[in-house]
Amino acid sequence: MADDVRPALSDALSRGPAALATIVSLGGGGPRPVGTQMVFGVDILSGFLSGGCIEADVEGHAQAVLADGHPRRLVYGEGSPWPDIRLLCGARVEVLVERITTDDAAATTLLDLARRRRPAFWASDGARRACAEERHALWSGAFQRLYEPTPRLIVVGGDPTALAVASLGAQSGFETTMLRPKGPSSPPPLPGVRYRRDGVEAALADIGLDAWTAVAVCGHEPEQDHAALLAALPSDAPYVGLLGARRRLPERLARLRSDGISTRDLAKLRAPIGLDLGGKAPFEVAVAVIGEVIASRPPAAASHRLET
């Protein structure tokens, strides 16, 4: 179910060469967009390219690429040399499979930029690769794909609603941190969720609120929530949501203004938090919050970007 292949690529390259398969062209629709990728390595298979129609065949070609080092362009659907592999959606899918060695300079740069939470432009024709923080001038036969930093979610609070938001955030692919100042010493049993107990100002400053970070303030302690909003609203974080009663919102906004939050930064606040789905149970609120975070991202960040 992994959509971002960079963690799998890093893991694979720690064991030996890896094969990277990328959808570089798509005709007639298809279940996965251009730019979708899979990684194949020693005891590693990550990602998916379709609804199960082509993955097994791509894996066979990936093993051949790993063996001989020669990239392959595979066509499925119209014009395919393998008419027995049917795509029920009627799409035409072209996949580039390339061998990435453990010392590949482009892959090293890609993973370094991911660790530093910087965007990365990856360009390749299967034999030649380049990666940088800036867009490349493409050469004949090459494609270019933008990797953005992994989306991150910080949940302030510790009640069942906060737990549900954090849990669903982690399941949805966000690097998720639950921040509960002076909370229990043991972290909640939520897979994939980091846990912090320090004060909100110090914790948010340490984590860093960049343009790929969402903050969901789901506490029930006015001073703590206010401190979180004072730190998050002027930051680069594009989404800041506040859980709480609608009737108390005017006084909370007035206090934020009096403490120096500008009208522009205040406009970022989503309050009450989440899409209006009508539910009040913890996981109903969680669905509304994660849906709103995803919907608030700019179109370029919500999908793969690839140029040829």
Residue 257 burial (CB count, 10 A) = 12
User: Is residue 202 a contact partner of residue 174, using CB atoms and an 8 Å limit?
Assistant: no
**pLDDT-wise least confident of 19-33, 111-125, 164-178, 201-215:** 19-33
What CATH superfamily classification does 152-299 receive?
NAD(P)-binding Rossmann-like Domain (3.40.50.720)
Handedness of CA 72, 77, 78, 84 (dihedral sign): positive
> Does the global pTM surpass 0.85?
yes
Per-residue pLDDT tens over the stretch 83-135: 767 776 778 899 999 999 999 999 999 999 999 999 999 999 999 999 999 99
pLDDT(300) > 90 = no
Q: What is the distance, to the nearest Å, from the Cα of residue 146 to the centroid of all Cα atoms in its chain?
A: 12
Residue 270 burial (CB count, 10 A) = 19
The domains of the chain are located at 6-147, 152-299
DSSP string, 81-95: S-TTS--TT--EEEE
